[in-house]
Amino acid sequence: MNAAVDSRAAAIPAQSAPRPWDLDAIRRDFPILDQQVHRAPLAYLDNAATAQKPAAVIDAVAEFYRHDNSNVHRAVHALAERATAAYEHARERVRGWINAASADEIVFLRGTTEAINLLAHSLGQAWSAGDRVVLTTMEHHANIVPWQLLRERTGIDIAVLPVTADGELELDALPALLDGPVRLLALTHVSNVLGTVNPVAEAVRIAHDHGVPVLVDGAQALAHERVDMQALDCDFYAFSGHKMFGPTGIGVLYGKAERLAALPPWQGGGEMIRRVTFERVRFAPPPQRFEAGTQDFAGAVGLAAAIDYLSTLDRDAMARHEQALLAHATERLEAIPGLRLIGRAAHKAPVLSFLVDGVHAHDMGTLLDRKGVAVRTGHHCAMPLMDFYGVPATTRASMAFYNTLDEIDRLADAIDYARGVLA
């Protein structure tokens, strides 16, 4: 990293006291929430698919394009310097937010999916038939399919850590799975279907006891949890900007410095090289080694703005509010006849998946939408988990800190309405 970036990083102001928790004021920060859908106020309960953006993020991206846009790490003109500084400032902002030891451990990519594909490719180059990666039943397809593609290329094995009926990892079964030629444990931090917050720190400890490195899929975690890379001690951590109130198209692969240093590149192109002749190429060190081509630096600026915004919020009040939403939603939905909740882990993010007798999830989605309630229906890109529960599809309501108890009531009332139509 260059000196200018270091001085910029040091200029980040010390954390000020959070603003008082005022839900009305917070909702006003998110312009999209203030609209009618089918003549009803929008109740956006599809946050696990993508979270909405505060005006601060939208404005930061727009301002970047208005004033600073230029390709990074290339030219010496003023705009290029500003854009480069903004991009590396964003990297430092991400480092601080997840408490990585160094900004060089932060690789900007398109998102969680790309990060896992990168690892499957670059880690996999050193693996061979019979090597094993351990996943869990509750993984998103993004943390399944890249390993299946690697299996097709190299003949690796995939082992799966089971989950309980309540939707918790069977951690007791983990040590046995880690015996043998295991190259990686790759597991989700928070289930996108069940809301389960997995004991990833414990999983990391167990895996490390077996000498196995760990990748954590953090796509669903950052919207709800503070994560600390040095405390968690995982080897890799992947997440997406758009699920934590930042823009689409920007995401992060965190990797411990020594892990990234040992990793061969994935895509080749500009920016990721040190020296190229037609006879040979020498690659740049991380993180640039993994950032071939023009990156989404405007997205990185937006992600930094999202972190700036989140850092103004009272995290304790936010956690209390989210748990209040979860408790209220669980209570209201459990009172609905014929409704079955999928996922009853002790430690959950505010995500509820459910089925209702006589109402297919897809009809439920259409009928809730007509009441202004936006939810996700289907298999949630987690077909093996759907198979485990023996259901083809569920309806999922996923909350963010800007949702209200009133919106939960409207969800419950709309489910009753759907039952009335179809049952």
Partner 1 sequence: MSDELDDLYQEIILDHNRHPANFRPMPDADRTVEADNPLCGDQLTLYLKLDGGRIADIAFQGSGCAISVASASLLTERLKGASVAEAEALFETMHAVLTDAPRAADDDTDLGSLAALAGVRRYPMRVKCATLSWHALKAALDGRGSEDIVSTE
Residues that bind partner 1 (CB under 8 A): 38, 360-363, 366-367, 370, 377-379, 386, 391-393, 421-422
User: For this structure, is 234 an active site residue?
Assistant: no
Tokens (6 digits) for 56:
């601060």
Q: What is the Cα–Cα distance from 246 to 202, expressed in whole angstroms?
A: 29
| Residue 401 CB-density burial (10 A; 0-12 exposed, 13-18 middle, 19+ buried) | buried
Q: What is the Cα–Cα distance from 399 to 176, expressed in whole angstroms?
A: 36
Q: DSSP for 269-318? A: SSSSEEEE-SS-EEEPPTTGGG--SS--HHHHHHHHHHHHHHTTS-HHHH
CB of 334 to partner 1, least distance (A): 23
CB of 378 to partner 1, least distance (A): 6
Of 119 and 359, the one with the shorter C-beta distance to partner 1 is 359
Angstrom distances, CA of residue 54 to CA of 74, 111, 333, 354: 31, 19, 29, 29
Of 320 and 362, the one with the shorter C-beta distance to partner 1 is 362
Of 39 and 280, the one with the shorter C-beta distance to partner 1 is 39
Three-class SS state of 161: strand
CB of 139 to partner 1, least distance (A): 17
CB of 370 to partner 1, least distance (A): 6
CB of 185 to partner 1, least distance (A): 28
Q: What is the Cα–Cα distance from 194 to 138, expressed in whole angstroms?
A: 8
Of 82 and 370, the one with the shorter C-beta distance to partner 1 is 370
CB 333 within 8 A of CB 339: yes
Catalytic position from the list 301, 381, 408, 414: 381
DSSP state of 16: P
Of 210 and 360, the one with the shorter C-beta distance to partner 1 is 360
Tokens (6 digits) for 414:
């709309």
CB of 313 to partner 1, least distance (A): 34
| Residues 49, 121, 269: CA angle, nearest 5 degrees | 95
CB 126 within 8 A of CB 156: no
Q: What is the Cα–Cα distance from 102 to 235, expressed in whole angstroms?
A: 14
Tokens (6 digits) for 293:
């081509």
Of 26 and 393, the one with the shorter C-beta distance to partner 1 is 393
For residue 101, the tally of other CB atoms under 10 A from its CB is: 11
Q: DSSP for 222-278? A: TTT----HHHH--SEEEEESGGGTS-TT-EEEEE-HHHHHTPPPSS-SSSSEEEE-S
Q: What is the Cα–Cα distance from 341 to 61, expressed in whole angstroms?
A: 39
Tokens (6 digits) for 286:
């991380």
Of 228 and 357, the one with the shorter C-beta distance to partner 1 is 357
CB of 409 to partner 1, least distance (A): 19
Positions annotated as catalytic residues are 381
